[in-house]
Amino acid sequence: MKDHTEADDLAPFVPLSPAPLHIVLALNRGERHGYALMGDVEELSGGIIKMGPGTLYGSIKKLLAQGLIEESPARPDPTLDNQRRRYYRLTGLGQRVCHAEMERLTTLLERSRSGAASRLLGRQA
């Protein structure tokens, strides 16, 4: 019988599709409201991904339902921020999924680079 691992627990969530992945990576920096998330996603992607409100809030709804993010009860001083804004943060599960995705993508890149290097040197990967 195979031992149960944390990877087994995260299997239903990994890999994340692109929009949720970028949101989770942005929230890994800390709590954000929706508009700030759109800016962070664009910054993290080097300007390649410009997430619109429909994609953002649809993905947020899905991530909330999966338990990867939650609405933060903390609010900034109302004189400094719009009270209608909702702030989001990663849950413990969301943090584990985020780190699993970063590891998965790092491994993917390393394998791709080693295969490319092998081909450049005339060896089979």
For residue 41, give the nearest of 64, 24, 17, 59 by alpha carbon: 24
How many Å apart are CA 115 and CA 120, to the nearest integer?
A: 9
Domain spans in the chain, listed from the N-terminal domain onward = 14-120
pLDDT of the chain along its 125 residues, tens only? 555 566 678 888 899 999 999 999 999 999 999 999 999 999 999 999 999 999 999 999 999 999 999 999 876 666 666 677 899 999 999 999 999 999 999 999 888 888 766 666 666 54
What is the chain's percent helix, strand, coil content, to nearest 5? 55, 5, 40
CATH of domain 14-120: 1.10.10.10
Give the strands of the sheet with 87-90, arranged side by side.
32-33, 87-90, 69-71
